Chain A
Amino acid sequence: MDALMNFGTGIFGGAWPAVWTLIKIVLIVAPLMLGVAYLTYFERKVIGYMQVRIGPNRVGPWGLIQPIADGLKLLLKEIIVPTTASKGIFIIAPMLAIAPALAAWAVVPFTDSLVVANIDASLLYIMAITSMGVYGIILSGWASNSKYAFLGAMRSAAQMVSYEISMGFSLICVLMVSNSLNLVDIVNVQDQGRFAGWGLSFLSWNWLPLFPMFIVYLISGTAELNRAPFDVAEGESEIVAGFHVEYSGMAFALFFLAEYANMILVAALTSLLFLGGWLSPVGFLPDGILWLFAKMSAILFLFLWFRATFPRYRYDQLMRLGWKVFLPICLIWLVVVGVWMMSPLNIWK
């Protein structure tokens, strides 16, 4: 590592720290984009098997080249801008959708030391950045100047604002028990406790003491992602495809890249906040990045499973779940955790 640093300083001189940061960004974004591509493949395969079909199997062995072919096709297609669209915003909207999805990865730790920016308030940073993702959707719907797109955008804006609240409250519970806003600290705190002492550290991860919050976070996360069964923003049977109905080619693909990058992000966050991140579930196995990837894959599989299993929520049911079910659960559990931490039964000391 030191040799690499000296080599870089030799070539780039004072600009090396900036170049090194750029290299780190590429090292995160390139595998992420590959992960997005193969998540779409995985989704089609999984849903295919769940519906007793085979899924993509024509391009390459077992259809493995399919996502690359799809990407190439979308790259080569023409981007059609509707004549009545608000052109500038129509072009900016997909960028606004994907930029937060990528920017949030800056503070996601993969192990104790493997993180681009280990900032103090990383959890707050992620909440702030992901809350901006909704602009891509609202603006694309408005700029398209089309009824369906506008309806989709309105639905999605209302939905994301509603579920962000319960999501925020479940994160507050996590940061209360971790006594930190730093994701590395939050994971490390989960390695302490009675069960971790016995070598059963998966029982001292946050999912068990904060079980209601874990469930709320997972479901709100699915809703924030506009994934089935909460995909009323797309609702192909009612409003064709919602906010991106007027988009084509790579502009359309950017919305999908953003959605899948956000899926991977929510999976990573759930693993870090509630499932111990890179910590090994049992004492006799070493910790490592592979555990994080395994947990993320399991949660991603859960998202695909949801999509193959559940019918779509009706819009009023969706709002009811967010405001009348999750919000009271969050408020009550927040008080419960607060009292628990002040009582002699506190397990997070």
Chain B
Amino acid sequence: MDFQTAVFYFLSAILVFASLRVITARNPVHAALHLILAFFTCGGIWALLQAEFLAIAIILVYVGAVMVLFLFVVMMLDINIDRIREGFWNYLPLGALLGLLMALEMSLVLGSKYFQIPAAEALVPAGVSNTKSIGALMFTDYVYPFELASLILLVGMIAAIVLTYRGPKKSKYTNPNEQVFVKAKDRVRVLQMPVEKD
């Protein structure tokens, strides 16, 4: 077993353990933390496959931004764990069906011809920048799917704002511009008074 294989098994073991803990941890914050660990290890495995751009991107986007907000929300929620556990048997058939579907999809993808490339051919020649090749592909061959995906994301963003918008706030609002441009003259009046003499 060479070094690369050893690293792969090490990272995979952590990844499997972390993923299992995500669904078995009692505390939702612990589950979210294990999800972060899973993303980070996944980045490590991608780096091992010489996909350094994707590896860094998953850490930057998921670990650095998405999970921070996720953790933020999970920490604010007051979750009663016992009540979540109650409906286990009711949800089991639906969950099992979804799990089966996902397993089927994964086997279809992994069994397709794109995954049957021998490791030696998949090696990236030296001097080729991963970032550049992905960028070139994204803006030439896959430009329409890429633009479509960004459009869907934009629609999702606007939809989230529209769904949660509750009309203008009825709070006292001071315009920061006016605050900044205030001068002492507007606020303080210096009075000249004759000195009192008795």
Q: Is A302 an interface residue (CB 8 A)?
A: no
Interface residues of B (CB under 8 A from A): 29, 33, 36, 52-53, 56-57, 59-60, 63-65, 68-69, 71-72, 75-76, 129-131, 176
Query: Provided the pairs A181-B131, A320-B176 are in contact, do residues A135 and B59 lie with their beta carbons within 8 angstroms?
Result: no
How far, in whole Å, are A127 and B61 apart by their CA atoms in the complex? 10
B131 and A157 contacting across the interface, CB-CB below 8 Å = no
Query: Provided the pairs A120-B130, A121-B53, A181-B131 are in contact, do residues A131 and B29 lie with their beta carbons within 8 angstroms?
Result: no
How far, in whole Å, are A131 and B56 apart by their CA atoms in the complex? 11
Complex partner residue of B56 from A89, A124, A138, A154, CB under 8 angstroms: A124
B63 and A131 contacting across the interface, CB-CB below 8 Å = yes
What is the interface size of chain A, counting residues whose CB is below 8 A from a CB of the partner? Answer: 27
> Scoring A residues 142 to 182 as 1 if CB is less than 8 Å from chain B, else 0, what string do you get?
10000000100010011011001000000000000000010
A161 and B131 contacting across the interface, CB-CB below 8 Å = no
Complex partner residue of B53 from A89, A124, A135, A317, CB under 8 angstroms: A124
B72 and A158 contacting across the interface, CB-CB below 8 Å = yes
Closest residue on chain A to residue B75 by CB atoms: A142
Q: Is A81 an interface residue (CB 8 A)?
A: no
B75 and A138 contacting across the interface, CB-CB below 8 Å = yes
Query: Provided the pairs A138-B68, A157-B72 are in contact, do residues A128 and B59 lie with their beta carbons within 8 angstroms?
Result: yes
Q: Is A132 an interface residue (CB 8 A)?
A: yes
Q: Which residues on the A side are within 8 Å of B63 (C-beta)? A: 128, 131-132
Closest residue on chain B to residue A153 by CB atoms: B75
B130 and A121 contacting across the interface, CB-CB below 8 Å = yes
How far, in whole Å, are A284 and B112 apart by their CA atoms in the complex? 62
Q: Which residues on the A side are within 8 Å of B72 (C-beta)? A: 138, 154, 157-158
B61 to A: closest C-beta gap in Å: 9
> Scoring A residues 97 to 135 as 1 if CB is less than 8 Å from chain B, else 0, what string do you get?
000000000000000000000011100110111011011
B70 to A: closest C-beta gap in Å: 11
Q: Which residues on the A side are within 8 Å of B33 (C-beta)? A: 89, 139
Q: Which residues on the A side are within 8 Å of B36 (C-beta)? A: 135
Closest residue on chain A to residue B52 by CB atoms: A121
Closest residue on chain B to residue A130 by CB atoms: B64
- Most chain B beta carbons < 10 A, residue from A132, A161, A320: A132
Q: Which residues on the A side are within 8 Å of B65 (C-beta)? A: 131, 161, 164
Q: Which residues on the B side are within 8 Å of A86 (C-beta)? A: 29
A329 to B: closest C-beta gap in Å: 16
A120 and B68 contacting across the interface, CB-CB below 8 Å = no
B64 and A120 contacting across the interface, CB-CB below 8 Å = no
Q: Which residues on the A side are within 8 Å of B131 (C-beta)? A: 120-121, 124, 181
How far, in whole Å, are A17 and B81 apart by their CA atoms in the complex? 49
Q: Which residues on the B side are within 8 Å of A181 (C-beta)? A: 129, 131
Query: Provided the pairs A120-B129, A121-B131, A135-B68 are in contact, do residues A142 and B29 lie with their beta carbons within 8 angstroms?
Result: yes
Q: Which residues on the B side are within 8 Å of A120 (C-beta)? A: 52, 129-131
How far, in whole Å, are A134 and B66 apart by their CA atoms in the complex? 12
Closest residue on chain A to residue B60 by CB atoms: A128
Closest residue on chain B to residue A129 by CB atoms: B59
